[in-house]
Amino acid sequence: MKKFNIRKVLDGLTAASSSSSSATAQPGTPRENEVVQETLQSEHFQLCKTVRHGFPYQPCSMAFDPVQKILAVGTQTGALRLFGGAGVECYCQHESGSAVIQLQFLINEGALVSALADDSIHLWNLRQKIPAILHSLKFNRERITYCHLPFQSKWLYIGSERGNIHIVNVESFTLSGYVIMWNKAIELSSKTHPGPVVHISDNPMDEGKLLIGFECGVVVLWDLKSKKADFRYSYDEAIHSVAWHHEGKQFVCSHSDGTLTTWNIRAPAKPAQIITPHGKQPKDGKKPEPCKPILKVEYKTTRAGDPFMVLSGGLSYDTVGRRACLTVMHGKSTAVLEMDYPIVDFLTLCETPYPSDFQEPYAVVVLLEKDLVVIDLGQIGYPIFESPYPLAIHESPVTCCEYFADCPSELIPALYSVGSRQKRQGYSKKEWPISGGNWGQGSQTYPEIIITGHADGSIKFWDASGLMLQVLYKLKTAKVFERARGKEEKPNTDIVDEDPFAIQTLFWCPESRMLCVAGVSAHVIIYRFSKQEVTTEVVQLLEVRMQCEFSEVDSPDLGGEQTPTQPASAAPSSPQETEPPNQLSAGTNSSEGPRDNIPCLQVRSSPLKQSPGYQVELVVQLVWVSGEPPQQITSLAVNSPSGLVVFGNSNGLAVVDYEQKTLLLNMAISELYSPSDPYQKQPCSPRKPRQPSGGLCDSNDGSNNSEDRCKSPTSGSTSPCNSDDERKQNFIEKAKMSRKISSSGEQKPELEERSQRWSPRSCKKHFCSVTNGKMAARITQKLHIHRTKSDPNRYGKDNAFTRSRSSSVTSIDRESREVISSFYFCESFPRKSDSLISPCLLVGTTQGSVMTAALSLPPGADHKPQQPVSFASCGTLVRLKGGILTMALLDAAGTLLPPSYEPWYDPNASDEEKEKVRRRRPASPPSSQEGQDTQFAVLCSEKQAKVVAMPSQTSIYKHNITESSFVLRADVVQMAGSYCLACFCANGHIMTLSLPSLRPLLDVNYLPLTDMRIARTFCFSNLGQALYMTSPTEIQRITYSQETCDNLQEMLSELFTPVETPEAPNRGFFKGLFGGGAQSLDREDLFGETASGKASRSLAQHIPGPGSMEGMKGAASGVVGDLARARVALDERGQKLGELDERTAAMMASADSFSKHAHNMMVKYKDKKWYQL
């Protein structure tokens, strides 16, 4: 996992950059170092990937180490996913991004060979926690089609498209001079090329015999020593795979016509047996009808029974529409196992790694296009094993995602207890067979929860603690609605063409356990958590009518006289008094007139059995208004102490009391502005009704996968780009264009024209009486706020990735309308003149306005039904560039003030238990001292961030985040005991800003290009954690914490563990006496440089990998790291000892030579006198 170089920003220099960050210049405002003492520095931040969860996207190859019990999966994008026991997962990526066509383990060696579609092979070192490439070999003149690495061999056979076989030494990754040429392998009389090599394997009993399968149907048994073909086997149909019997006397071939041929190695004339497993056998003895190709066959023997023959494909052509099947033939029985998705590959797991012994198969791993299934061969009926991996993230396409780190510790056990009852039955009773590796022992102990919303209306809660991912609980929101039984009974889903229950956005309060979800069919469902099972006789329903104002030009004819437009201030105080005189009755759908008061979905009328977990409290639906469909909901929030939920769209906002099942407020966006607001926009001219074309998950042509349906509105229909840079640049330019349109449309309307059309008040109040007594099962609240006629398919801004991607509205239409983008309940100062805090609501819009609204709530919950709840709009707090993304509140010390919440209590518990919990309700924050700013409002938009002092409403800090791009996601998060603002931009940058001074602390260009799925699902969480959907099936978790990056090695799991290789099968006395049993081969003598010479340099290029042994020493840790380092040290010591031996031998030779020379000199001058010298 690669760590990114970070452009760290020096602290204290932000004031010098007036264009990007500026403190207030107003008199009396405290300076930066006087407001809050900030502790966060740039040294606290570092960005790196941590772990990837989910099913490998677009898998294409698979391998298994039977000793280490590790499974490897390769994908079409060059990714490698390795799986072991529960929690043992690893992700690596080939830089080229080419498809992984084949994988081969060096069994029990901690290494893996990968062959790619770009004709390169790579050796991966798995002895370190983050695998790395040790060597690479790139073929220049041949295309790789098949690879084979015999058990306990260092010589890798590589078959090519030309029909040749090359041999590579996996230790040095050099080519041998030994080459098997295709023209020598086939018959000399053959006039045609045999085609690519589709199979290579050595005889289980004789390593010197190599079986080579060519695509045309020719199989050759090659003698490696004599360098010639012993036998050739020919069949009319193309070969897809070959499998040996363990005794080495027979092999089986699968063919393209659905047949299996069994050959005796010494009888090449004709097959010993020909069978068509799924073919209809004619009575007159003719050949059976051809079937689909058998793509793969495996032949495994057992010591005590019949052999197993496992194959994929081969079904009859008349089985049109039948799902993919895996066939298991055992003795006289044949089992056909249907799969949910097409089969990519399968492997039979056996007890022994030795091919010459009885295999004793016990399981079959089946890799499907979108799933991984392991079948138990040892039990009747072949049940599947229960998978410990989170491979079901994509069971339905993910439409939204939220991440909660450091949440209450009792949440995970509570969710697990209710979710454990949802587990399927019928799994195998045996343990999961892929059990290798060791789970990482990290210091991270805080609980983490991930929530995913899906296109089928389901919501999944995941335990993400400790770099693991495990499903806790699944909620199906579609249960509260009636389902269509046929095409003629299709529900009234006019907003979306497909997936009417898809989750659009959700709000979850971990402390109160309140859950509120908004769907694409303009519905909101409020859930409470309960540990008791209940049966709801009638689902509580509240229908909300958010009407829009019609102009004289485009007003539809309702069959009567035109009703004059009334100002919003004339709205009655009670929702029961708002029935218009010429409105159609609820539930009508007359073919003569426009639809009116019709919800998009029908709530079920039969009793609903609700299991322990999240149970429906209230369903809120927006209804059609005079032929216009309801606008989809763009934002929502819940305030559990007051029992309120607020949601908004392009028409306005609505406040619902979910305890009393009552609509309290229905207000237009324009009514939130005060008359003196300079930012108030003139209402747009109305347009004719337009039929929408899709929602969050609409259907396109058949070429698109279901996972790609859920895209952002900015995706639209873009033209293909030639490179990633072009795609990125086009995306940003498109965003800039739409922003220019937005700014050009933000002209201040004339006050006179605005007052003629609207009659706003500086502080509007709407009172809604709440009556006592038994609530009706179906309550229809109709509160009319006359406003501009709405476009039926518009949400808001171009970059609202959590919303519909409908492209039926132009960018000008999108940008000209103001849409509510965010809410924030808080205890603050709604007005400048306030000296005491009070409950209020902050409302953010897509035009950059942040408005405040004061809530007047009853003092106690017991008196709530008798007292009205008032809502006062207090005008604009501040204006920012771009749509508002997030809002938060800090106290005077810079600590986050979270929204108030009610402690969780079981709604089905006794009244005494409920009262006990309610008494523990958190106390309200202390009141403010007059004349001082005691709070800071943190506001972030698509372009900039501001910090506003409260209650003076003075902007004290401002930071322009980006000019050329825009922010997609922003969150105020806790980090190292303090708080900061984390942002993710459309250009791929991830930034953090200190609070409240907005000093840049981190700025990393993380993503190579902007992907819509990433943009829609990216979310930050506390303690430096973040995640996004990197593919339709995978979640990528990252960290921006320096501490987590430093401890990542300890937190990651270990793939390789020291395991002894099983003993080789005993040859027996008679086999040893008379010869027999497996015959070994000294491949070094055949393939070494001395025997075969050097290979051509132009054939392949050797590329040293970054994962050298020195890098491994620094990267590995723990016991495995110590063993690896000890092995390296031993190798180095052995090398040094070898060098020392050579030096010693050289010194001895030198000494011997010197002795001889001295002796010769002594003999020469022995008898001479000194004067004769």
HSE-up of 883 (CA within 13 Å, CB side)? 31
Q: Which pLDDT belongs to residue 678? A: 64
pLDDT at position 85 is 92
Higher pLDDT pick, 1071 / 854: 854
pLDDT tens for residues 46-81?
Answer: 999 999 999 999 999 999 999 999 999 999 999 999
Q: H-helix or E-strand containing 916?
A: helix 911-919
Q: pLDDT tens across 684-707, in order?
A: 434 444 433 334 443 333 344 444
Q: What is the mean pLDDT of residues 868-883?
A: 87
* pLDDT tens for each residue of 380-423: 999 999 999 999 999 999 999 999 999 999 999 999 999 988 87
- pLDDT of 899 above 90: no
d(CA 512, CA 847): 32
CA distances from 278 to 297, 309, 348 (A): 14, 14, 21
* Residue 1121 phi, psi dihedral angles, 5° rounding: -60, -40
- Cα 217 versus chain centre, distance: 42
- Confidence band of 780 (pLDDT split at 50, 70, 90): very low
Query: Is the Cα torsion angle 1120, 1121, 1124, 1129 positive or negative in sign?
Result: negative
State the DSSP H helix or E strand holding residue 404, giving kind and residue range, or none if neither: strand 398-405
Burial (0-12, 13-18, 19+ Cβ within 10 Å), 285:
exposed
Q: What end-to-end distance do the CA atoms of the chain give, in Å?
A: 77
Quote the CA–CA distance of 792 and 694 in Å, as a whole number. 11
Dump the DSSP string for 1011-1052. Answer: -HHHHHH-EEETTTEEEEEEETTEEEEEEEEHHHHHTHHHHS
Sheet containing 989-994, strands listed edge to edge, beginning at the edge strand earlier in sequence = 967-975, 978-985, 989-994, 1000-1005
459 Cβ neighbours under 8 A, 6+ residues apart: 451, 452, 453, 474, 475, 477, 503, 506, 515, 517
Tokens encoding 182 = 């295709």
Convert 536-569 into a string of H (helix), E (strand) and C (coil). Answer: ECCCCEEEECCCCECCCCCCCCCCCCCCCCCCHH
What SS3 string covers 9-59?
CCCCCHHHCCCCEEECCCCCCCCHHHHCCCCCCHHHEEEEEEEEEECCCCE
- What's the token pair of residue 699? 């259907």
Tokens of 108: 């029990």
Per this entry, what is the length of the chain? 1173
Under the banding of pLDDT at 50, 70 and 90, the label for residue 282 is confident
| pLDDT of amino acid 1099 | 86
How far apart, in whole angstroms, are the C-alpha atoms of residue 688 and residue 691? Answer: 10
- Angstrom distance (rounded) from CA 935 to CA 106: 62
Residue 198, CA distances (Å) to 209, 219, 383, 723 in order: 17, 10, 32, 34
Rounded distance between C-alpha atoms, residue 142 and residue 140, angstroms: 6
d(CA 987, CA 1003): 12
How far, in whole angstroms, is CA 539 from its chain's centroid? 34
**pLDDT band with cut points at 50, 70 and 90 for residue 272:** very high
* Helix or strand (DSSP H, E) at 755: helix 751-757
What are the tens digits of pLDDT across the range 1107-1132?
654 444 444 444 444 555 566 566 66
Contacts for 431 with CB less than 8 Å, ≥ 6 apart: none
Q: What is the mean pLDDT of residues 211-220?
A: 94
Mean pLDDT of 739-764: 35
State residue 671's pLDDT score. Answer: 86
Residues 6 or more apart whose Cβ sits within 8 Å of residue 829: 835, 836, 837, 838, 840, 928, 935, 950, 951
Whole-angstrom Cα distance, residue 1020 to residue 886?
12
- The answer to whether residue 813 scores a pLDDT higher than 60 is no
pLDDT band at 367 (very low <50, low <70, confident <90, very high): very high
Work out the angle at residue 554's Cα, subtended by the Cα atoms of residues 552 and 556, and round it to the nearest 5 degrees: 100
Q: What is the dihedral of CA 474, 477, 479, 482, to 10 degrees?
A: -160
Residue holding tokens 């949601």?
647
Q: Hey, what's the torsion of the CAs at 236, 238, 240, 241, to 10 degrees?
A: 30
pLDDT tens by residue, 1028-1055: 999 999 999 999 999 999 999 888 999 9
Q: What is the DSSP letter of 625?
A: B
Lowest mean pLDDT among 508-512, 990-994, 1144-1148: 1144-1148
Residue percentage of the chain with pLDDT more than 70: 71
- Has residue 560 got a pLDDT over 50? no
Exposure string of 788-808, with b = 16+ CB inside 10 Å and e = fewer, is bbbbbbbbbbbbbbbbbbbbe
Q: What is the pLDDT of residues 815-837, one digit of tens each?
A: 568 899 999 999 999 988 888 88
Q: How confident is the model at residue 753 (pLDDT cuts 50, 70, 90)?
A: very low
Lowest mean pLDDT among 179-193, 669-683, 717-731, 754-768: 754-768
CA-CA distance, 314 to 71, in Å (whole number)? Answer: 26
Does residue 1103 have a pLDDT over 80?
yes
The per-residue pLDDT for 859 is 65
Better pLDDT: 861 or 958: 958
CA neighbours closer than 13 Å in the CB half-sphere of residue 522:
35
- Asked if residue 1134 has pLDDT above 80, the reply is no
Give the HSE-up count for residue 1138: Cα atoms under 13 Å, Cβ half-sphere: 6
Position of tokens 């809502």?
871
Burial of 177 (0-12, 13-18, 19+ CB in 10 A): middle
- Model confidence band, residue 1106 (pLDDT cutoffs 50, 70, 90): confident
Residue among 324, 427, 424, 299 nearest 374 (CA)? 427
Instruction: Looking at mean pLDDT, say which of 317-326, 592-601, 997-1006 comes out highest.
Output: 997-1006
Radius of gyration for the chain, computed over Cα atoms and rounded to the nearest angstrom:
36
- pLDDT of 497 reads 67
Task: Pull the structure tokens for residue 49.
Answer: 């990937």
3-state SS, residue 741: helix
Query: Can you tell me the mean pLDDT for 336-353?
Result: 95
> What is the C-alpha separation between 80 and 98, in angstroms, rounded?
11
Please state the pTM of the whole predicted model. Answer: 0.79
